[in-house]
Amino acid sequence: MELSPKTIEHFRNPKNVGEIENPEGTGDILNPVCGDKTVLYLRIREGVIEDAKFLSFGCAVTIASASVFTEKIKGQRISELLSGTDEGIIRQLISLIEGELGEIPPAKLHCPPATVQVFLEAVSRYLEKEGEAQMSSRIKGLIPKVSEYYQRGEKAEEAV
């Protein structure tokens, strides 16, 4: 399976690459499947994501995922992005990426979850700094649950 036109477009011309000085939230990840690194920076004002930027030393799908995701979350209220069940929140965040990029090759299905994981980490750090310890630890608790989504590619390939 080939990369979708949207994935190629975002890979060739990624949006929001760079850093934010003194970000309210930041997170970084080494993808547990391949070791590629992504760092996310968030500018948050009164619970709204005003700006989001990323740096990635990853594959085309990872760069496209972070590009789409940062575009989608800008202007969004954190409380809305993180409402619902644990499973629902993770699915909703992943679908922000996959709904836009279209079909992703099974061998690359571990790439979009890395962007979601790094976002959850950045938000949980932000909430902690804001004194919202309970919400911060709930969001931090979602991170291990993202790990199930890293395995989707292997499951898809086994099913073939």
Contacts with ligand FES, residue ranges (CB under 6 A): 31, 34, 36, 58-59, 61-62, 108, 111, 114
- CB of residue 12 to ligand FES, shortest distance in Å: 16
Q: Indicate the pairing of strand 48-57 with strand 37-45.
A: antiparallel
- CB of residue 15 to ligand FES, shortest distance in Å: 18
Cβ proximity to ligand FES: between 51 and 112 the closer is 112
- CB of residue 116 to ligand FES, shortest distance in Å: 13
Q: DSSP alpha helices (H): ranges in 20-132?
A: 60-73, 78-81, 86-101, 112-129
Cβ proximity to ligand FES: between 67 and 136 the closer is 67
Closest Cα to residue 40, out of 108, 101, 97, 104?
97
Cβ proximity to ligand FES: between 25 and 58 the closer is 58
For 87: left if phi > 0, alpha if psi spans -120 to 50, otherwise beta; the answer is alpha
